[in-house]
Structure 1
Amino acid sequence: MAHAHHDHHEPQGDDLARAAQQTLERSGEQWTAMRASVFGALAGFDKPASAYDIADAVSKREGRRIAANSVYRILDLFVGANLARRVESANAYVANAHPDCRHDCIFLVCDVCGQTTHLDDDKLTQAVRRAAEGVGFVPERPVIEVRGTCAICAQPVN
């Protein structure tokens, strides 16, 4: 039975990069220097980043221009391998802090500051899957996005 809510130890920095590398290699892909650079840049953002944001960060770090098209290909690979999640409404990406765990995704997206919080609520996402299946739809990977205002932005200014 799925848990209503569960928490994960979320590796950061080098531990997160190692977890991502191990996950990608287990899927049969190579962890190249460019993939490591893209993942490092993505993980360095504190809110969802576009491929252009990531290409710019990698270009500065590498001292040479990196095309956004190259970054898009790597991000597609990362999403498929569960290393990154795509925030559809923002056309941006976030690093998956627990790449070994496969579950559906709920994002809370602040319309004021752009901060995005990732929630795990298997009870809710299973209900969405059951509703889709009830009308003959086969859900692959539901992503739920809730747009609104985060707690910080909602606080009144003194």
Structure 2
Amino acid sequence: MADHEHHHDHHAHGGESLMTAAQATMERSGEQWTAMRQAVFEALASFDKPASAYDIADKVSQLQGRRVAANSVYRILDLFVGSNLARRVESANAYVANDHPDCLHDCIFLICDSCGQTTHLDDDLLAGGVRDAAKQAGFSPQRPVIEVHGTCPDCKVA
């Protein structure tokens, strides 16, 4: 592992720890942690692959026994992305829960075209290079997202 890569083995949250970190992050940004936001976050975090707003709306609807509109879920997901609780996988129009919401890094997603598994890496040197290139072109970058499509190790050996 190169020094410029940032892996979150020690900062990653899961289960109740992730929920607590997400709630704290949301409240620090001045937003309320409502029952619906918690339900959407729990549903998002339960998926092992990027989930669409429709996937999440279906799961929340099943759990609550009432229909939850995808539009409502989209608004909450946009809030989550802005608060660093979720990351958007642009090419799939899908979302993943950020298991380290207290860290702010640019995203590098490795997306398997065979099984859909998505791995998130933080490499500040690479993302910094993308930011620098954008600045040299006169562009003001906000949050670079780099997506690499290919084959994961599991599918490669299959």
Considering the TM-score relative to the shorter chain, is it more than 0.5? yes
TM-score calculated relative to the size of structure 1: 0.96
The count of aligned residue pairs is: 154
Alpha-carbon deviations, 1:62-112, whole Å to 9, x = none? Answer: 111100000000000000000000000000000001001111000000111
Alpha-carbon offset, residue 6 of structure 1: 1.7
Q: Counterparts of 1:6 and 1:86 in 2: how far apart (Å)?
A: 19
Structure 2: which 5+ residue stretches go unaligned? none
Aligned equivalents of 1:69, 1:136: Cα separation in 2? 35
Determine the C-alpha separation between the residues in 1 that align with 2:143 and 2:40: 23
Match of 1:94 in 2: 96
How does the TM-score come out when normalised to structure 2? 0.96
Which residue identity is paired with 1:139? P
What letter is aligned with 1:101? C
1:66 is aligned to: 68
| Alignment deviations for residues 105-136 of structure 1 (CA, whole Å, 9 cap, x no partner) | 00000111000000010010001111111111
The runs of at least 4 consecutive aligned structure 1 residues that moved more than 3 Å come to none
- Kindly indicate whether the alpha-carbon contact (under 8 Å) linking 2:109 and 2:119 is maintained by their aligned counterparts in 1: yes
In structure 2, how many angstroms separate the alpha carbons of the residues matched to 1:65 and 1:135? 46
Q: Identify unmatched segments of 5+ residues in structure 1.
A: none
Q: How does 1:27-46 map to 2 (within 5 A)?
A: 27-46=29-48
Counterpart residue identity of residue 65, structure 2: G
Aligned-residue offset at 1:28? 0.3
Q: Secondary structure at the match of 1:120?
A: strand
**Structure 2 matches for 1:8-157, cutoff 5 A?**
8=8, 9-156=11-158
Q: RMSD between aligned alpha carbons?
A: 0.8
